[in-house]
Amino acid sequence: MAKTHRKYWFRMAARSAYLLIRPSNTAALVDKSYDRISPTYDRAWTDHMRNLTEHLIDRLNPQPGNTCIDLTCGTGFATSLLAAKTDTTVTGVDRSQGMLDQARQNHAHNCKFVQADILEFLKNRPTASADIITCCWGLGYSRPFAVLRQIKRVLKPHGKVAIIDNSLFSLREIIFCSFLTFAENPRALQNVMHFKFLPGPRTLRTMFAMLNLKTLHSDQGSRSYTVDTGRDAIARLKSTGAAAGFEYASGRTDDTAIFDRFAQIIEDKYMTPDGIKVTHRYLAGIAQK
């Protein structure tokens, strides 16, 4: 007979609450994850999602000579698209040394990469100094409203902002399995991530409206892939950055017992004859000052 694993929901909730009120180490763990995966990030994530980012930049329609900033630039994919369309030097900003190393290696032409926290970077920029500011797949790691407020200040009149990001419910099936894993073993939970991914495009539009930015475009969607095993699902999530920070929830990325159990629960819940479907849900928006 299958072994029954008891769930300790109350203990897990109490442990999560305790970890949430502790000073957050989320930023350090996210940096550690992105530094680690940076050499393979483009193959794992950019190639899978590149056309979503491309469509957003096409829709944004940057003009030759526009001054652009690409926040959370990572390995520089969007930065280089902006540079090609504007034929001017574009500034990419990211905190991860590993991601910036890849960016500098692959996108030297017309791109300047700066290592900084995006909010601190924006606070130090002059008012009304940029035509275009993008933030692709990274807003939820920071404080979205504070970042958007700074973006509005830094944009010139009629300047445009474009955002694309994972939604709060992006990997809901996998996140549910992670709750089940730690509910069996609350003491194994060492780090709870302080992320602020937005629930959907409506929240982004509301933020634009609160800042008196005019929404020009808003959408949402999803992209799925199928893997053969629970372990494959976890490996893929780790290599795309979708598990950035979270992979240290139990303190170590190589915590075999926890990851084995996590993989097992994913298989128990979501295995189909075709494999396990993993779905990323995203939101996007463009607004004008």
Ligand X SMILES: C[S@@+](CC[C@H](N)C(=O)[O-])C[C@H]1O[C@@H](n2cnc3c(N)ncnc32)[C@H](O)[C@@H]1O
The answer to whether 72 contacts ligand X (rule: CB under 6 A) is yes
- Least Å distance, CB 12 to ligand X, is 26
What CA–CA distance (Å, rounded) separates 260 from 12? 19
Q: Which residue, 94 or 247, has its beta carbon nearer to ligand X? A: 94
Task: Return the residue of 30, 90, 193, 286 that touches ligand X, per CB under 6 A.
Answer: 30
The answer to whether 241 contacts ligand X (rule: CB under 6 A) is yes
> Is the C-alpha dihedral spanning 149, 154, 157, 163 positive or negative?
negative
- Least Å distance, CB 7 to ligand X, is 32
How do strand 214-227 and strand 68-71 relate by DSSP bridges?
Answer: unpaired
Closest CB to ligand X: residue number: 74
Residues in region 118-137 near ligand X by CB under 6 A: 118, 136-137
- Least Å distance, CB 148 to ligand X, is 14
The DSSP code sequence of 112-163 is EEEES-HHHHHHTSPTT-EEEEEEES-GGGS-HHHHHHHHHHHEEEEEEEEE
CB-count exposure of residue 21 (10 Å: 0-12, 13-18, 19+): exposed
- Least Å distance, CB 205 to ligand X, is 21
What CA–CA distance (Å, rounded) separates 27 from 220? 26
Q: Which residues contact 276 (CB under 8 A, 6 or more apart)?
A: 226, 227, 228, 229, 230, 232, 233, 266, 267, 270
- Least Å distance, CB 74 to ligand X, is 2
Q: x/- contact string, 78-107, with ligand X (CB under 6 A)?
A: x---------------xxx--x--------
The answer to whether 245 contacts ligand X (rule: CB under 6 A) is no
At residue 127, what are phi and psi to the nearest 5 degrees? Answer: -65, 145
3-state secondary structure 168-183: CCCCHHHHHHHHHHHH
Q: Which residue, 72 or 86, has its beta carbon nearer to ligand X? A: 72
Size of the residue set binding ligand X (CB under 6 A): 21
The answer to whether 140 contacts ligand X (rule: CB under 6 A) is no
Options 68-76, 184-192, 226-234, 264-272: segment touching ligand X (CB under 6 A): 68-76
What CA–CA distance (Å, rounded) separates 139 from 63? 24
Options 70-78, 105-113, 149-157, 256-264: segment touching ligand X (CB under 6 A): 70-78
Q: List the Cα angle 159/99/195 in 5-degree steps.
A: 70
Q: Which residue, 118 or 198, has its beta carbon nearer to ligand X? A: 118
Q: Which residues contribute to the site for ligand X (CB under 6 A)?
A: 30, 34, 46, 53, 72-74, 77-78, 94-96, 99, 117-118, 136-138, 141-142, 241
